[in-house]
Chain A
C-alpha cells in the first residue's frame, strides 16, 4: 500500500525515514551542516517510534554512544558530515575491532579542515580505507538519489548485522539538501534487535559476554585480524554497481554518488549526439565492484574517472583494471558545484584518446 505513496523530501529526511523503516531504535546526533535535518527529524520522530534520541556533546561522544547501543544488538545510527566523521573515527575503529554493527551516515562536505558546507567527495579515502587507526574496513554505500538514500539506509542496517560490522552511508551536501520525490516502503521480517548469540542484555541464566577490541594474549590479535580479513573478503560478494549504456560504449565514465548522477546526465546528452559513452557508478565503494569494471576493461573500453576531489576513487578504478587498462581522471574541486556541461569536454577528450 505504501508503495504507491510518494513524498517530496530532502535526502537527509529520506535517510532518516529509511532508518526508521529499518527499525532503527537509537539515534545519536550532533549538529553539523549539511546533515542537520537528520538529527532534527530523528529528535521528533524517533520517540514516536518508541526509540531513543540523544543529542550528544560531540561527534566523539555520539559515535561512542553508538558503540554502546550497538553492543546491545539494537539497531542504532549516527550521522554527521566530514569534520564530524573524522571525530567519530575513534569509536568506528573500536566498533570494527569489537565487531559491533552500526550505521554511520556521512553527508560529505568540502575540506580539508573546515572547508565549506557544500558538496564534495573528499572523504572517499576516510570511508573506504578504514579511516581511523588500525586495519579495518567499513561497508560503504553510496546513494546518488533520494530514493537510493532511503533504500540504502535500510540495506545498511541489514548488512551491519549480517557482517557484524559498521556500515557507512556516504552521501554529500547535494544528496542531503536536495528535495525530490521518493517512494517509501517498509521492509518485512526485520527486528529492531539482532545478535541473539553475542549481544549484551545481562548474564541472566547464561555465561557473561564481553565485547572488546583489546587482544593482549599471545596470538590473539593476529587471530582477530585474520578473522576480520576473512570477513572483509566475504563482503566482496556485496559489491554492486550501476552500468548505464556501457554495452557498446568506447569510453566508460566512472563516478559515484551525486557526481555519478550528474555524469549520467552528461552521458545521456552525449549519447543523443551519437557519442559512444557509458557510465559505471559504484553503489558500494567498499567492497569496490572490481569484477564488472575489469570485464569492461577486457572488452577494450577506455575509462575516465570523475570525482569531486583531487583523485581518490580513481585509485580503486586503476587497481581494478590495472592488468589491461588505465583511467583518465578529471577532478572537480570541492567548492565548485558542477553541471553536466562541465563534464562534456573532459569526456570528449578521453573519448578521442587525447
Chain B
C-alpha cells in the first residue's frame, strides 16, 4: 500500500504547543510563531530559551511556545530582555513585539538595547495598527490608512510619517543584523525565516543585536477579508517598507 511509504513532510514544530490560538482568521502572528518555533529547534536552543513577551495581541505567545517566559510591560521587552540576558548569559533570550509596543511606547528601549549591542534577538511584527486594543493608529500606520483614531486616514501634517524601524535599527552601532521580511506569500515567508535565522545566530554566535521586522496582516482591524489583507501587504506595505537586509556585519554593512 502506498500509505505504508507515506511521509509526513510538514507538521508543527515541537516548540509550538498543540493548541488553538486566540488570533483572528488570517492574522500572521501564527506564521511568525511557527517560524520562531522551528528556528529554536533548528538552532538547538529550544530548551535554553527565555522568551520576553510584550503587550498587544502577541502577549499570549507564552501560551503557544513551549519555553520559559516572562511578561514585560508595554514597550519594555528589550529592557527586560537586557536584564534576563545579564542574569542568564548562556540562555537564548528573545523578545517578540508589535509595532505599537516597539515603535511607539518602547522606542527608547529598542533603540538603546540595539545600540548597546545586547546579545538578544528581537522579532518585530509590523501590521500598522494597535491590534488588541481595537485598531488604533500606530507609528507604522500608512499615510491615508483609516484607523479608529485617524478615521479620515493618517495625515502627514498631523500625525507625521510612518516610521521605518529596520532602517533606524540598522543605523545603530550595536546592531549586528537588521532585516525586513514579509509573511504574505510562500517565497517571502521562506526568506523571512532566513532573516530570522541570521538574527538569532547573532546571539548564538555572540555577534551582537539581531533584529527582524515582519510585515504582517491584521484583517480584522484593516476591515478586510484575510485574502484582501494579505494582498494589501504586497500592494501598499512593501512599497513603503521595502524588504531586504539593512545591516549585516558579516557582509560589511548595509545592502
Residues of A within 8 A of B (CB): 25-26, 28, 52, 54, 56-58, 60-62, 64-74, 76, 90-91, 94, 98, 200-205, 208-214
Closest 7 CB pairs of A and B: A68-B83, A65-B83, A64-B79, A72-B87, A57-B112, A74-B87, A52-B86
Residue B167 CB within 8 A of the other chain: no
In the bound assembly, the distance between CA atoms of A209 and B69 in angstroms comes to: 6
Give chain B interface residues in 119-133, CB to chain A under 8 Å: none
Considering the chains assembled together, what is the distance between the CA atoms of A69 and B79 in angstroms? 10
Q: A61-B79, A98-B70, A212-B70 are in contact. Are A68 and B62 (CB under 8 A)?
A: no
B80 close to chain A: CB less than 8 A: yes
Contacts from B to A (Cβ < 8 Å): 47-50, 52, 59, 62, 66-73, 76, 79-88, 91-92, 108-109, 111-112, 116
Compute how far the CA of A202 lies from the CA of B85 in the bound complex, rounded to whole angstroms: 12
Asked if A202 contacts B47 (CB within 8 A), the reply is yes
Contact A212 B62 (CB under 8 A): yes
Supposing A61-B108, A71-B84, A212-B62 touch, asked if A200 and B70 sit within 8 A by C-beta, the answer is yes
Q: How far is the CA of A198 from the CA of B85 in the complex (A)?
A: 17
Most chain A beta-carbon neighbours within 10 Å: one of B79, B83, B91, B108: B83
**Are A201's CB and B108's CB within 8 A?**
no
Report whether A52 and B67 are in contact in the complex, using a CB–CB cutoff of 8 Å: no
CB neighbours of A69 from chain B (8 A)? 83-84, 86-87
> Is the CB–CB distance between B68 and A203 below 8 Å?
yes
Determine whether the beta carbon of B87 is less than 8 Å from that of A60: no
Give the distance in Å from the alpha carbon of A28 to the alpha carbon of B85 in the complex.
13
A72 touches B112 (CB 8 A): no
B92 surroundings in chain A (CB, below 8 A): 202
Contact between chains at B48 and A68 (CB < 8 Å): no
- 19 A-B pairs with CB atoms under 8 Å apart are A26-B87, A28-B83, A56-B112, A60-B108, A60-B109, A61-B76, A64-B79, A64-B109, A65-B82, A66-B83, A76-B86, A94-B73, A200-B69, A200-B88, A202-B67, A202-B68, A209-B69, A212-B71, A214-B71
Known contacts A57-B112, A64-B109, A91-B76; A213/B86 CB under 8 A = no
Chain B interface main SS type:
helix
Contact A52 B76 (CB under 8 A): no
| B59 surroundings in chain A (CB, below 8 A) | 214
11 further A-B contacts with Cβ under 8 Å, apart from A67-B72, A204-B48, are A25-B87, A28-B86, A54-B82, A57-B108, A57-B112, A65-B83, A200-B84, A203-B49, A208-B69, A211-B70, A211-B71
Point out the residues of chain B lying under 8 angstroms from A72, CB to CB: 50, 83-84, 87-88
- Chain A residues within 8 Å of B76, by CB: 60-61, 64, 67, 90-91
Contact status A67-B80, CB under 8 Å: yes
User: With the chains together, A26 CA to B49 CA distance in Å?
Assistant: 20
Contacts of B71 in A (CB 8 A): 94, 98, 210-214
Given known contacts A57-B112, A210-B62, A202 and B49 CB-to-CB distance under 8 angstroms: yes
Q: Which residues of A have CB within 8 Å of B72?
A: 64, 67-68, 94
Per the bound structure, the CA–CA distance linking A62 and B59 in Å amounts to 21
Interface residue from B52, B68, B109 paired with A61 (Cβ < 8 Å): B109
B91 and A201 contact, CB distance less than 8 A: yes
Give the chain B neighbours of A57 by CB distance below 8 A.
79, 108-109, 111-112
Knowing A202-B48, A203-B47, say if A68 contacts B69 (CB, 8 Å).
Answer: no
CB neighbours (8 Å) of A94 from chain B are: 71-73
Checking B69, B73, B87, B91 against A211 with a beta-carbon cut-off of 8 angstroms, the contacting residue is B69
- Cβ contact within 8 Å between B79 and A68: yes
Q: A68 to B84, alpha carbons, bound, how many Å? A: 4
With CB as the reference atom, state the residue of chain A lying closest to B45: A202
Complex Cα–Cα for A106 and B146 (A): 45
Residues of A within 8 A of B68 (CB): 200-203, 208-210
**Nearest chain A residue, comparing its CB with the CB of B80:** A68
Residue of A nearest to B17 (CB): A208
* B87, A68: Cβ atoms closer than 8 Å: yes
Residues of B within 8 A of A205 (CB): 47
Output the least CB separation between B109 and chain A (Å): 5
Known: A94-B73, A201-B91. A54 touches B86 (CB 8 A): yes
**Docked complex Cα distance between A28 and B70 (Å):** 18
Report A-chain residues with C-beta under 8 Å of the C-beta of B80.
64-65, 67-68, 71
Q: Do B70 and A71 have beta carbons less than 8 Å apart?
A: yes
CA distance A66 to B81 in the complex (A): 10
- Complex alpha-carbon distance, A98 and B83, angstroms: 15
Q: Measured between alpha carbons, how far is A204 from B50 in the docked complex, in Å?
A: 11
